[in-house]
């Protein structure tokens, strides 16, 4: 009997070409996505590194500007005891080109402005005293300063109220000086309560917390005041026009007229005053005072210990700015406060 081979072969499976193509496309898409992410991360890291490098360079230039300013002030003190706008440190600077950018540094006499911390002190309440007798010379000068703003006109009484509130903010006790003053009992009753500082100002912006200080008044007052340690004199050789308007006889709380103050400002163009007595005896000042009356000279001087350095630098797209307070004595000159801007 003949046996036949009945083995059967399985049907051949056709390649799944469509599925493979989809898988290839998916792989390409994933690889491309990873490549884009890696490239983006690399570019971001590179940009961050570049910004840090340029930022460090800009910061280094600011440090160099501080060192240069200190050197100018040290040399100035070694050569004379008077500070005026005719000296090298006071020259109007121009941007100085540096590698990759520029540097600008300007020194300003901080004692050309009114020191808010000079207002500390008690206010008299003796019924036998006149209104002017109740205030210190510095407090009277500030009352006059508050009446010099055309954009925000204040009466003498309003200027007194602002000054009293600032004195209360500064003094160590928590008792109001007058009914227009303000201590923690007033500030804690506000919608957003806080306490009176009862210590020296640490920043000019602190003024915005004081009673009677409006945003409009702060805007015009802030450029003319400064915060320095303790009481300091106003340097008549560097003071602006508004500071000259605060000079008057002791019994008067109103400021000098603009034209009179302009005469005082122009009188120093002939050269710096070598002593405060020279300023007192100057024809321009003597001619403004009532016959036989002397202006209050307490709180005025012809030299300075404190200076402001405003420095800014730009490297590529990075820009840095600082404001430094310099304290200069006969033995040491140093940065005592620095604020980045």
* Residue 38 to residues 34, 43, 274, 324, Cα–Cα distance (Å): 6, 9, 69, 43
Element (H, E) at 333: strand 333-340
Q: Which residues contact 2 (CB under 8 A, 6 or more apart)?
A: none
Please report, for the chain, the start and end positions of each structural domain, with discontinuous segments joined by +. 49-111+305-340
Enter the tokens of residue 171.
């003094």
What pLDDT is attached to residue 44?
A: 61
325 vs 204: CA distance, rounded Å: 13
> Which string of DSSP letters, residue by residue, matches 225-259?
EE--SS---EETTT--HHHHTT--BTT--SPPPHH
What pLDDT is attached to residue 50?
A: 55
The residues that bridge with 102 in the sheet, in sequence order, are 97, 314
What pLDDT is attached to residue 217?
A: 98
Enter the tokens of residue 56.
């460090």
264 vs 268: CA distance, rounded Å: 7
What pLDDT is attached to residue 177?
A: 85
Helix ranges, 184-322 (H): 184-187, 215-221, 241-244, 258-267, 276-280, 283-286
Find out whether 291 and 33 touch, Cβ atoms under 8 Å: no
206 vs 36: CA distance, rounded Å: 50
What pLDDT is attached to residue 129?
A: 84
Enter the tokens of residue 250.
């002791």
Q: How many whole angstroms from its chain centre is CA 118?
A: 18
Which is the CATH superfamily of the domain at 49-111+305-340?
GSPII I/J protein-like (3.30.1300.30)
> Is the model's pTM score more than 0.85?
no
Walk along the chain (341 residues) and give the pLDDT tens digit of each residue: 455 555 555 555 555 667 777 777 778 777 777 777 766 665 666 556 656 766 677 788 888 888 989 999 999 999 889 999 999 999 888 888 888 888 899 999 999 999 999 999 888 887 778 889 999 999 999 999 999 999 999 999 999 999 999 999 999 888 888 888 899 999 999 999 999 999 999 999 999 999 999 999 999 999 999 999 988 999 999 999 999 999 999 999 999 999 999 999 998 888 899 999 999 999 999 988 888 788 999 999 999 999 999 999 888 888 889 999 999 998 899 999 998 86
Q: Which long-range contacts (CB under 8 A, 24 or more apart) does 295-300 make?
A: 295/247, 295/248, 295/249, 296/137, 296/140, 296/141, 296/247, 296/248, 296/249, 296/250, 298/137, 298/138, 299/118, 299/137, 299/138, 299/141, 299/231, 299/233, 299/234, 300/233, 300/234, 300/236, 300/247, 300/276
The residues that bridge with 324 in the sheet, in sequence order, are 309, 338
> Which string of DSSP letters, residue by residue, matches 125-146?
--TTS-TGGGS-HHHHHHHHHH
What pLDDT is attached to residue 83?
A: 95
Q: Which residues contact 54 (CB under 8 A, 6 or more apart)?
A: 100, 315, 316, 317, 318
């Amino acid at each position: 009997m003949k046996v036949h081979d009945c083995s059967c072969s399985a049907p051949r499976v056709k390649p799944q070409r469509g599925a493979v193509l989809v898988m290839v496309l998916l792989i390409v898409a994933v690889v491309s996505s990873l490549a884009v992410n890696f490239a983006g991360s690399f570019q971001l890291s590179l940009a961050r590194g570049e910004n840090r490098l340029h930022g460090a360079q800009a910061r280094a230039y600011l440090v160099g500007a501080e060192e240069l300013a200190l050197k100018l002030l040290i040399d100035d003190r070694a050569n004379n005891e008077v500070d005026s706008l005719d000296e090298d440190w006071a020259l109007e600077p121009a941007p100085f080109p540096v590698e990759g950018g520029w540097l600008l540094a300007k020194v300003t006499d901080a004692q050309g402005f009114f020191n808010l911390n000079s207002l500390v002190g008690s206010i008299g309440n003796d019924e036998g005293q006149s209104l002017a007798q109740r205030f210190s010379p510095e407090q009277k000068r500030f009352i006059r300063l508050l009446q010099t703003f055309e954009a925000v006109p204040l009466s003498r009484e309003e200027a007194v109220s602002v000054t009293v509130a600032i004195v209360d903010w500064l003094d160590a006790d928590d008792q109001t000086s007058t009914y227009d003053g303000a201590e923690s009992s007033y500030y804690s009753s506000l919608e957003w309560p806080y306490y009176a500082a009862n210590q020296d100002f640490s920043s000019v912006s602190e003024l915005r917390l004081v009673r009677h200080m409006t945003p409009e008044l702060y805007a015009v007052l802030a450029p003319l005041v400064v915060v320095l340690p303790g009481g300091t004199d106003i340097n008549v050789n560097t003071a602006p026009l508004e500071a000259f308007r605060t000079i008057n006889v002791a019994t008067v709380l109103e400021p000098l007229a603009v034209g009179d103050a302009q005469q005082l400002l122009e009188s120093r163009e002939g050269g710096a005053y070598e002593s405060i007595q020279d300023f007192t005896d100057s024809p321009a000042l003597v001619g403004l005072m009532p016959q036989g009356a002397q202006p209050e000279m307490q709180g005025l001087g012809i030299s300075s210990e404190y200076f402001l350095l405003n420095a800014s630098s730009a490297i590529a797209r990075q820009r840095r700015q600082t404001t430094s307070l310099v304290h200069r004595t006969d033995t040491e000159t140093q940065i005592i406060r620095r604020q980045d801007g």
